[in-house]
Chains A and B, each alone.
Chain A
Amino acid sequence: MNQVITLLAAVLAGAAPLVIASMGATLSERAGVVNLSLDGTILLGAMAGFGVALSTGNLALGFGMAALVGALVALVLAYLSLTLGQSQTAVGFVLALLCTELSSFLGAPFVRVSGPAVPFAPIPLLAEIPLLGPLLFRHDAVIYASMLLVPLSWWFLFRTRAGLTIRALGERPQAAYARGVPVVPLRYLATIAGGALVGLAGAAYSLDLKQGWSYRHTFGAGWIALAIVIFGGWRPWRVALGCYLFAALEILALRSQSALPGAPTQVFQVAPFALMIVVLALVNLAGSPALARRIAALPPPLREPLRRLVARIAAPPPAALGQPFERP
């Protein structure tokens, strides 16, 4: 039992940066802006956060710097796509490449230097609760924050007026405009706030879960976060579930390495990504018209429950995702 709890706790901890990044991506995509630069932004945030924390000895400054870097990258994306009307996909992709190389170039002095790290901080009393204590309350501040971020994102997007307006931007900006919403400024805001979270995710790696800095330290995390947001149907709880699933796959792959000594290590590094693609494909199948047709052809007693099940699983993207808005 204890082993299972330890394993689950490791999953909750290991997924923290992914959760933070994918909540950021969810926020900006809910507003209709795809930030493809995620992977580069996480790298740049990790590097800048570590660099600042190392040279100032102040962790908070490190995280602040990471958030600022993330926000700046998002601002560039927002300016190029929202103001200058360039393709979000193209700009985001190029920014991802740029930030990756920039992190390698600027981060050269910090490679394999040991630096400050977020301290372990079990919560008094709560940490002593059997089972729940070791699972939820024996972590550090970053992990607590990641766990709080999920309900917070959900509450913001689905229970506040501001969240409703943000979602309207992603569904149909013309309708939001007709209601007097300043579409472009609010899209800027959502993109920048989302970008700051993505930057923070970088620091969560370099100052906490994968301490230090090296060449392409977190390579791949951003791309998987983008995929997880799709898996999660742009809904915070499901997105978080995707992050934890991926973290679990990673840990499982790591553990099975010792069980299968003959297999090359690359297999275990790549396996979580491949498995994630399979899961993603299966989930997105639920929303496909082909499946809907198959179900419609089934006999009635099967049809209704299946249709309802599929409708629950299917998670359509925001209708205006990635679409530019021009004032009429």
Chain B
Amino acid sequence: MEVAVHTLTKHFGPVRANDGLTVRFAEGQIHGVLGENGAGKSTLMKLISGYLRPDGGTLTLGGRAVTLQNPGDALKAGVGMVHQEPLDLPAFSALENLLCAAPRWALPTMAEARNTLRLLAGRLGFTVEPDALVAEMTVGQRQQLEIIRLLACGARVLILDEPTTGITAAQARALFTALRKLAAEGNTVLFVSHKLDEVADLCDTVSVLRAGRLVGEQMALPQPQARLLELMFGAGMGGWGSEAEGLARENGALRESAGGQPGAQAAWRLERVTARERNLTLRDLSLTIPAGRIVGLAGLDGSGQQILLRLLAGRARPEAGRVIVRGTDLTGAPSRAFRSAGVEYLPADRLAEGMVGPLSLADHFALLQAGALVDRGAAERAARAAIEGYGIKATPVTPMSALSGGNQQRAMLALVPERCGGLVCEHPTRGLDVASARAIWRRLLQRRAEGCAVVFASADLDELLEYSDEVLVFFAGQVSPPLARASLSTGRLAELIGGVGFDGAAQRG
């Protein structure tokens, strides 16, 4: 079914999230929709899937103009959307999720639903157990379940919003294979992403959004990367290529300036540590992380990086072994003790663990103050300085939850005290666009130059290779010895993450 929108417009307050968009997505193809964070991709998709209602413009499905009151209307018309965070019911089983509010004609009985689930999963190469609780499934499986549900309910247009965030490489491959199959069967797939290589790999055409407007329409792939980047971020950046080179030079300079000061005390030392989280165990891990060094943790989600990060930040207690932070044995100490020893933790889920959503930046600085009374003036001065210094787009009194992801991350970084010996970052640039990510890394490199050790986990191989001095690869709870950046290539790192030659690497070290 062909999807077309004409002068589609949607405002949120004064912000024009979609500003008169006109575009046509042909049937039986995979259409990439690119754009940086906040470009209006998600809004457009939510309008097409009836989740939001437009302020102006029209939507045509298969040549017929439609007005969608809600997502139910859209699904009846054959349009289904998998949201970035799948909108499913964690407390229900997969089967119950499939059945919930599904039209009777699609899934008349429980047995029929079970059958459909198995059939569609088999056909698409998905692994979803009918009786598994959604809360215990991975994001990738939840996505697969949503796709199955939408297809079972009659969707012929499938919208996926940033589907590869938070899923494993294997799941992404399975997803791409399934999407190609669906398109070949005549379905229309809209694939929203800000990852260029994925779009280039999967899609037939690509459209680019910037600031709520369409700047590149239905371009046939392949397209040169530089051109797409220019469309995404605007020509005003004076050519992305030279910017990137400039950044690399800058990073290089920063890197040379520090480089593991000899004689300095190690930021962390782990001695034969064993730690467990759910069904994963890190066993007998001994490790030294010197000051002024950046250590990247690579591996599929849930291979053990999380456990190490939490150990280093004092958020998890080892079952055996010792954790020594800057010369002090803090084994089993509360995370408070780790903080007073100069270790700071930047969690991936910023609003859940990192900050208090309704409080402002000034409030957060006030929280850091000692003493019984709040010095509002000092807090606001500190917030103003942070906004200035870190380029945060906010006022001292804007609630944190109102900031974009990049600004939240910068704010968290700004809240880290000047004198800090170790920074533990979990996916520091996840969900951020290139410019924001770069700004974050400039800060992290600066910290490193000041002698701070940085440990970060990332799923982005380029990020790992670009910024780490050393990389630790995790594979199903096994940890490689520290691998020098120079000894690694993207291909080699990808192999190790997938477990290829992992034992060899482990033995060599």
> Which 3 residue pairs of A and B lie closest in terms of their CB atoms, listed nearest first?
A180-B72, A179-B101, A178-B87
Say which one of B90-98, B118-126, B171-179, B338-346 lies at the interface with A.
B90-98
Asked if B90 and A171 sit within 8 Å, CB to CB, the answer is yes
0/1 per residue, B72-112, Cβ < 8 Å to A? 11011000010100011111100010011110100000000
A177 and B92 contacting across the interface, CB-CB below 8 Å: no
Per-residue contact bits, chain A 185-200, to B (CB 8 Å; 1 contact, 0 not): 0000000000000000
B51: interface (CB < 8 Å): yes
Given contacts A174-B87, A328-B51, 12 further A-B contacts (CB under 8 A): A164-B99, A164-B101, A167-B92, A168-B89, A171-B91, A172-B87, A176-B100, A177-B70, A178-B81, A179-B71, A180-B70, A296-B276
30 interchain pairs (CB within 8 A)? A161-B101, A161-B104, A164-B92, A164-B99, A164-B100, A165-B100, A168-B100, A168-B101, A171-B89, A171-B90, A171-B91, A172-B87, A172-B88, A175-B87, A175-B88, A175-B100, A176-B100, A176-B101, A177-B51, A177-B71, A178-B83, A179-B75, A179-B100, A179-B101, A180-B70, A180-B72, A180-B75, A181-B101, A182-B70, A316-B91
Chain B residues with CB below 8 A from A172, complex form: 87-90
**In whole Å, how far is A263's beta carbon from the nearest beta carbon of chain B?**
45
Nearest A residue (CB) for B49: A178
Tell me the bound Cα distance from A93 to B33 in angstroms.
Answer: 50
Contact A178 B91 (CB under 8 A): no
CA distance A319 to B92 in the complex (A): 11
- Inter-chain CA distance A176–B51, complex, in Å, is 11
- Does B439 sit within 8 A of A, measured CB to CB? no
Judged by a CB distance under 8 angstroms, whether B52 is at the interface is yes
> Contact residues of B with A, CB < 8 Å?
46, 51-52, 70-73, 75-76, 81, 83, 87-92, 96, 99-102, 104, 276, 319
Q: Take A168-B101, A328-B51 as given contacts and tell me if A180 and B71 are in contact as well, using a CB distance cutoff of 8 Å.
A: yes
Neighbouring B residues of A161 by C-beta, 8 Å: 99, 101, 104
Pairwise interchain contact B73-A180, C-beta atoms closer than 8 A: yes
The answer to whether A165 and B90 touch across the interface, beta carbons within 8 angstroms, is no
Contact with B along A269-313 (1 / 0, CB 8 A): 000000000000000000000000000110000000000000000
A-side contacts of B46, CB under 8 Å? 328
Q: Is B276 in contact with A178, judged by CB distance below 8 angstroms?
A: no
Residues of the B chain whose Cβ atoms lie less than 8 Å from the Cβ of A297: 319
| Bound Cα distance A167, B92 (Å) | 9
Complex interface: chain B residues within 8 A of A164 (CB): 92, 96, 99-101
Taking a contact as CB atoms under 8 Å apart, the answer to whether A319 and B73 are in contact is no
B contact residues around A328 at 8 Å (CB) = 46, 51-52
In the complex, are the beta carbons of A319 and B96 less than 8 A apart? no
Do residues B51 and A178 form an inter-chain contact, with CB atoms below 8 A? yes
Q: Find chain B residues with CB under 8 A from A165 CB.
A: 100-101
Interface on chain A toward B: helix, strand, loop, or mixed SS? helix
Q: Is the interface of B mostly helix, strand, loop or mixed?
A: loop
Give bound CA distance, A328 to B276, whole Å: 40
Contact present for A319 and B71 (CB under 8 Å): no
Complex Cα spacing A102 to B99, Å:
44
- Residues on A facing B (Cβ under 8 Å): 161, 164-165, 167-168, 171-172, 174-182, 296-297, 316, 318-319, 328
Query: How far does the alpha carbon of A297 sit from the alpha carbon of B319 in the complex, in Å?
Result: 8
| Closest-CB distance, A304 to chain B (whole angstroms) | 11
Find A171's partner among B81, B92, B104 (CB 8 Å cutoff).
B92
- Docked Cα-Cα span, A176 to B88, in Å, equals 8
| A174–B86 CA distance with the chains assembled, in angstroms | 11
Write the nearest CB–CB distance from B330 to chain A, whole angstroms: 19
- A164 to B104: give the CA distance in the assembly, Å: 13
Residues of chain A within 8 A (CB-CB) of B71 are 177-180
Name the residue on B nearest A293 (C-beta). B317
Minimum Cβ distance to chain B for residue A42 (Å): 29
- Shortest beta-carbon distance, B109 to chain A, in Å? 10
User: Whole-angstrom distance between the alpha carbons of A69 and B26 in the complex?
Assistant: 57
Contact partners of B92 in chain A: CB under 8 A: 164, 167-168, 171
A319 touches B101 (CB 8 A): no
> Please, which residues of chain A bring their CB within 8 A of the CB of B87?
172, 174-175, 178
Query: In the complex the two chains form, what is the Cα distance from A296 to B87 in whole Å?
Result: 31
How long is the Cα–Cα vector from A165 to B92 in the complex, in angstroms?
11
Query: Complex Cα distance A180/B276, Å?
Result: 42
Q: How far is the CB of A315 from chain B (nearest CB, A)?
A: 11
Contacts of B91 in A (CB 8 A): 167, 171, 316, 318-319
A183 to B, closest residue via Cβ? B70
Q: Are B51 and A175 in contact (CB under 8 A)?
A: no
Q: How far is the CA of A179 from the CA of B76 in the complex (A)?
A: 10
Cα separation A164 to B96 with both chains bound (whole Å)? 8
Q: How close is A249's CB to chain B, nearest CB, in angstroms? A: 31
Q: How far is the CB of A283 from chain B (nearest CB, A)?
A: 18
Residues of B within 8 A of A180 (CB): 70-73, 75-76, 101
Q: Give the complex CA separation of A206 and B89 in angstroms.
A: 41
Residues on A with beta carbons closer than 8 Å to the beta carbon of B75: 179-180
**Best-surrounded residue of A165, A175, A318 (most CB of chain B within 10 A):** A175
Alpha-carbon gap, A297 to B275, bound state (A) = 11
Residues on B with C-beta less than 8 A from A168 are 89, 92, 100-101
Give bound CA distance, A318 to B148, whole Å.
Answer: 25
In the complex, what's the smallest C-beta–C-beta distance from B409 to chain A, in angstroms?
25
Shortest beta-carbon distance from A69 to chain B in Å: 32
User: How far, in Å, is A15 (CB) from chain B's closest CB?
Assistant: 28
Interchain nearest-CB distance for B404 vs A (Å): 18
A289 to B182, CA, bound (A): 43
**Docked pose: A181 CA to B87 CA in angstroms:** 13
Q: How far is the CA of A318 from the CA of B52 in the complex (A)?
A: 26
Q: Are A179 and B51 in contact (CB under 8 A)?
A: no
